[in-house]
């Protein structure tokens, strides 16, 4: 009987010792392990988000670089200023615009570039003027219509007299 009691006491003591070991060592270890796992998952998610942002930044930088190259390629140097007037003349000829006068304005400095404007007096019907403005946007030289005013040539005429200021930007020679 005494032996059975000893075995029972030993079993109870072993169970109590295991409970103490679980409560004092294993449970905190498992809790800390779960917390670390959660932190690792959060940091991995943050790292993935940062990686995507960096990829987007690289794509945006590449897109910006490509656009900048296109703009630089389209902007003529100061030596090509005559191309500006030639381009206007070609677009006018192509769209049946009769240019009465072209008066270049003084060159304006804009930091790394210069702006050249020309004042044009013209005659055409409304459809040709609209085509002129459209073709101007498609021109190989950057042409911007700043101001346009139209008035009928005469009371019974379909022709309009127009006054237009067109500008372009030229890169400064370095």
Q: At residue 152, does pLDDT exceed 80? A: yes
Q: Do 149 and 97 lie in a common domain?
A: yes
Q: Please enumerate, as own/partner, the contacts of 94-102 that have beta carbons within 8 Å and a separation of 24 or more.
A: 94/135, 95/124, 95/128, 95/131, 95/132, 95/135, 96/124, 96/128, 97/122, 97/123, 97/124, 97/128, 97/129, 97/132, 98/122, 98/123, 98/124
CATH number of the domain that residue 132 is part of: 3.30.70.60
% residues pLDDT > 90 (the chain):
7
Range of the domain at 45: 1-74
* pTM (whole model) above 0.75: no
- Which of 74, 95, 125 marks a domain boundary? 74
Q: Which of 151, 81, 74, 157 is nearest to 118 (CA)?
A: 81
CA distance 52 to 153: 61
Q: Do 84 and 167 lie in a common domain?
A: yes
Give the model's confidence band at 119: pLDDT under 50 very low, under 70 low, under 90 confident, else very high. very high
Which whole number is the average pLDDT over 54-77? 72
């Amino acid at each position: 009987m005494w032996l059975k009691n000893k075995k029972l006491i030993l079993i109870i003591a072993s169970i109590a010792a295991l409970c103490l070991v679980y409560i004092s060592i294993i449970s905190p270890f498992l809790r800390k392990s779960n917390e670390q796992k959660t932190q690792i998952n959060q940091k991995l998610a943050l790292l993935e988000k940062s990686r995507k942002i960096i990829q987007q930044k690289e794509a945006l930088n590449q897109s910006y670089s490509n656009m900048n190259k296109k703009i630089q390629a389209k902007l003529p140097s100061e030596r090509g200023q005559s191309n500006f007037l030639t381009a206007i003349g070609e677009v006018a000829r192509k769209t049946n615009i009769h240019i009465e006068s072209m008066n270049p304005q003084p060159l304006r400095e804009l930091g790394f570039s210069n702006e050249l404007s020309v004042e044009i007096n013209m005659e055409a019907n409304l459809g040709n003027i609209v085509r002129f403005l459209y073709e101007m946007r498609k021109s190989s030289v950057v042409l911007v219509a700043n101001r346009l005013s139209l008035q009928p040539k005469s009371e019974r005429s379909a022709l309009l007299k127009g006054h237009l200021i067109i500008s372009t930007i030229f890169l400064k020679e370095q």
